[in-house]
Amino acid sequence: ENAAKVIDGKEVAKQIRKEIAVEISRMKDAIGVVPGLAVILVGDRKDSATYVCNKKKACEAVGINSFEVHVPENSTEQELLDSISKFNEDPSVHGILVQLPLPSHMNEEKILNAVGIEKDVDGFHPLNIGRLAMRGREPLFVPCTPKGCIELLHRYGIEIKGKRAVVIGRSNIVGMPAALLLQREDATVTIVHSRTKNPEDIIKQADIVISAVGQANMVRGSWLKPGAVVIDVGINPVEDAESPRGYRLIGDVCYEEAIEVASAVTPVPGGVGPMTIAMLLSNTLSSAKRVHNFR
Ligand code: NDP
């Protein structure tokens, strides 16, 4: 009766990928341009290799050319910078993504600074983040995961303006840009982090909660305001003897409790996760459209 609406990120992402594919063929037919995304994998992390492979497949499925480069673990920072500047100069590349985290001997700030801001489809360049934070400025790109969260709210017709929003987590890639985006959409935003006292009291006031912490089931149903909208970014492995892999993935928010209290909740998996790659494809398409002045 009072159970929450499930926000189906998998379905929305599928719809968005369909729209992107249509736009890409329209652009190709009209001006002969195919968007290109360069994905740079640095080092030997298995998880990073998997993400890169998924991004490549997602590109192919919508008609984006993907250029993949593997920079070996023992490479110098300069070798990675050279690879980035090659793509900065290549007109067939409209987006450049350096898969994080980098090996410890490389300076992340220096590397992210090297990506041309007009190809910064991850939205991590300090100029893009700075513009996101400033009134009256427009970033060329917005980070994909927080952008996906807002897109879910829009596609479900959930009003943001004037609402109280709480973002849990303040990382550069999710929490911080999510809070900036909500503020740009005229929400009143509070950020909860690991040093926040009585987080449940603050979260309980929120009409919209975006959680990006990385702690399984941390947010309980009793912490939520009745009717709140909950966007759960967390992806946390928990032991599960019944699963063939021995584990399964759950969110930061206790889903079974949240659906009894909230008005809408994203599941994990199948919520924010699929939206991240969809937003990467969307950023790559907008980049190609922008350079070629195609509308
Ligand atoms: P980080 O570890 O970089 O940041 C976690 C944030 O949570 C920090 O700001 C930290 O606070 C805060 N935090 C930690 N513990 C608590 C606590 N007990 N109460 C309140 N706040 C706390 O993580 P990310 O932002 O990179 O990722 C967050 C989660 O989202 C992870 O589960 C990750 O797997 C997932 N994720 C999912 C993506 C997707 O769906 N595509 C993409 C990216 C991430 P402090 O700053 O004080 O340390």
Please check whether residues 84 and 156 belong to one and the same domain: no
Catalytic position from the list 99, 120, 207, 289: 99
Q: Which of 173, 203, 213, 275 to mutate to test the pocket of ligand 1 (most atoms within 8 A of CB)?
A: 213
Close Cβ partners of 57 (under 8 Å, ≥ 6 residues apart) = none
Task: Give pTM, 2 decimals.
Answer: 0.97
Distance (angstroms) between ligand 1 centre and the Cα of 139 equals 23
CA distance 138 to 140: 6
In a domain, 130, yes or no: no
Q: pLDDT value at position 118? A: 98
**Ligand 1 atom having least distance to the Cα of 275:** 41
In a domain, 219, yes or no: yes
CA distance 211 to 138: 25
Q: pLDDT value at position 124? A: 97
Residue identified by tokens 């400033």 is: 134
Query: Is 55 marked active-site?
Result: yes
Distance (angstroms) between ligand 1 centre and the Cα of 294 equals 37
Q: Kindly state the helix (H) or strand (E) to which residue 165 belongs, with its residue range.
A: strand 164-168
Please check whether residues 160 and 41 belong to one and the same domain: no
Q: Which of 103, 108, 39 is nearest to 284 (CA)?
A: 39
Cα 191 to Cα 80, 167, 219, distances in angstroms: 34, 5, 14
Under-70 pLDDT residues of the chain:
1-2
Q: pLDDT value at position 4? A: 84
The CATH number for 212's domain is: 3.40.50.720
Q: Which of 184, 142, 183 is nearest to 164 (CA)?
A: 183
Torsion region of 12: left, alpha or beta (phi above 0 gives left; psi -120 to 50 gives alpha): alpha
Q: pLDDT value at position 280? A: 98
Please check whether residues 176 and 222 belong to one and the same domain: yes
Please check whether residues 165 and 237 belong to one and the same domain: yes
Name the domain count of the chain. Answer: 2
In a domain, 242, yes or no: yes
The CATH number for 54's domain is: 3.40.50.10860
Domain interval for residue 217 = 143-273
Distance (angstroms) between ligand 1 centre and the Cα of 193 equals 9
Cα 4 to Cα 85, 202, 260, distances in angstroms: 48, 21, 6
End-to-end CA distance of the chain: 45
Indicate the DSSP class of residue 219. Answer: B
**Ligand 1 atom having least distance to the Cα of 195:** 47
- Complex confidence, ipTM: 0.99
Q: pLDDT value at position 88? A: 98
What percent helix, strand, coil does the chain show, rounded to 5?
A: 45, 15, 40
Distance (angstroms) between ligand 1 centre and the Cα of 7 equals 21
